[in-house]
Amino acid sequence: MGEWAQCRSRKASSSHGWSGYGGQVLGAYYPQQDPSGSSSGSAVSVSVGLAFASIGTETSGSIVNPAEKSNVVGIKPTLGLTSRDMVIPISLRQDSVGPIARTVKDAAYMLSAITGKDRFDNWTFTQPYEVTPDYAKSCNPWGLKGARVGIPRNGIDFHLDDSSKPVMAVFETAIQTVRDAGARVIEEANFSSYDAPSFARNSSIVLDTDFVAGLSDYLSLLLSNPNNVRSLSDIARFTKSYPLEQYPDRDTYVWDRQLGRNITNVSPESWAAYQANLFMAGELGVVGALDRHKLDALIMPTFAAFQLPAIAGLPIVSVPLGFYPAQTALRMNLKRTLVSVAPNIPFGIAFVGRKWSEEKLIALAYAFEQRTMVRRQMKPSIRPTFELSDQLELTEETSYKLKVQYCVPVMDQPNLAHLIMAKTFSRLTSIRSWARSTFGFTQSLL
């Protein structure tokens, strides 16, 4: 994934899918494609067939955005539906763990497997379920029939630019597809208020203060800490002195800003910013639109769908929608190292709902997927040449430690598939609560 979930550098000095340890993950639909992030490798690996499904984490867009750019399905669950135990936190008030897969049904199977209450993440005890739902049972090809879905135009319009025109053209066609499937579409199901600049300012305060506190807590729980990093300040010092981190070309602007704030995540300023955004995202935003119009879900282009659900802890299901047409002009990322917009690069449509509405969203998304089969319309430009299982070695070294090692194949002239493989799977991990409950092991990363 992108190092520190893109929570380190200015946008102009950062790139999605890059880490000092693993290098640069590339998207598979155009040479030097920006994979989006931060769960970049999770999406690319599924897209090219190295895994039937993968796990991503999302604070704000980090599952659904890379999923759309890899022409796959991404589910960002309701906050608390899946455990974040062992996940390096950006914000415990926003972080979610969810599946990425090639189809809605595959993602649904994976979601059921990772859902449940976990004593190491008390947010999971807000779940209304005693038994985990079987989300694959929601995959009904008639799932759109009789549904009420709305389009919050004012929540979409703010994000539009010239590169959005091809996306919006396909999105308008998708609206008719939804109608043809038997759904009632409510146009102009707008948010009561959407002050994007104010939302961004408040989000910066919340994420900055949550990250500093959450990271210190996480580091304090490590069983092995060979570099003795105990805080963000320690990590910043290490990063600036370690050559693989490419400092100062990749700066620490975000960390410097975070460390410069004289408040914490329990300060009145942080709490006020959180409450203001929660109100804007909920009553004035997504939840308000759903309730006023008695909707089952909102539909939006994925690129415009993730900000408000992030702070409100609401679920999103993103499915493939289309591809940039052949005449599309290239657009580079801000660092000018990756191609962000180009012919054949995919984009997605998002279904957004209330908390704990994953079953309904999966039904809607599956019905849309089955009517359109967009993923089949364009193949990745590369294919892997070996099986992922052949590159893994599991060794149980002691009765209490499980190590997962990536074995790099010997390649005199590695092709692009090998390169993506090496960068994507540079470090593997397992979910801590699963390892504890299954093996009783404590995990150690090599």
The verdict on pTM exceeding 0.75 is yes
* pLDDT digit string (tens) for the chain, length 446 residues: 899 999 999 988 999 999 999 999 999 999 999 999 999 999 999 999 998 999 999 999 999 999 999 999 999 999 999 999 999 999 999 999 999 999 999 999 999 999 999 999 999 999 999 998 999 999 999 999 999 999 999 999 999 999 999 999 999 999 999 999 999 999 999 999 999 999 999 999 999 999 999 999 999 999 999 989 999 999 999 999 999 999 999 999 999 999 999 999 999 999 999 999 999 999 999 999 999 999 999 999 999 999 999 999 999 999 999 999 999 999 999 999 999 999 999 999 999 999 999 999 999 999 999 999 999 999 999 887 776 667 665 544 433 333 333 333 333 333 443 343 334 333 333 333 444 444 333 332 22
Between helix 268-281 and helix 196-220 the angle, nearest 10°, is 120
Contacts of 238 (CB under 8 A, 6+ apart): 227, 229
Beta bridge partners of 96: 58
Parallel, antiparallel, or unpaired: how do β-strands 401-406 and 442-444 relate? parallel
Q: What is the pLDDT of residue 435?
A: 41
Phi, psi of 286, rounded to the nearest 5 degrees: -65, -50
Max CA separation in the chain (angstroms): 62
Beta bridge partners of 297: 149
In 286-417, which ranges are E strands? 297-301, 316-323, 331-332, 339-341, 346-352, 392-396, 401-406
Q: What is the pLDDT of residues 72-126, one digit of tens each?
A: 999 999 999 999 999 999 999 999 999 999 999 999 999 999 999 999 999 999 9
Q: What is the pLDDT of residues 309-319, one digit of tens each?
A: 999 999 999 99
User: Residue 18 and residue 38: Cα distance in Å, rounded?
Assistant: 9
Rounded (5°) CA angle 134-136-141: 140
Q: What is the pLDDT of residue 384?
A: 79
Q: Which of 247, 245, 261 is nearest to 213 (CA)?
A: 261
Q: Which of 251, 256, 259, 257 is nearest to 213 (CA)?
A: 259
Q: Which of 305, 400, 421 is nearest to 361 (CA)?
A: 305
Kindly state the helix (H) or strand (E) to which residue 254 belongs, with its residue range.
helix 253-260
Q: What is the pLDDT of residue 388?
A: 64
Give the distance from CA 354 to its chain's centroid.
18
Q: What is the pLDDT of residue 89?
A: 95
Q: What is the pLDDT of residue 389?
A: 67
Q: What is the pLDDT of residue 392?
A: 62
* 316 C-beta neighbours (distance < 10 Å), count: 32
Q: Which of 327, 328, 369, 326 is nearest to 349 (CA)?
A: 369
* 390 C-beta neighbours (distance < 10 Å), count: 9
* 201 C-beta neighbours (distance < 10 Å), count: 13
The sign of the CA dihedral 9, 427, 65, 355 is negative
Q: What is the pLDDT of residue 411?
A: 30
The sign of the CA dihedral 166, 169, 172, 178 is negative
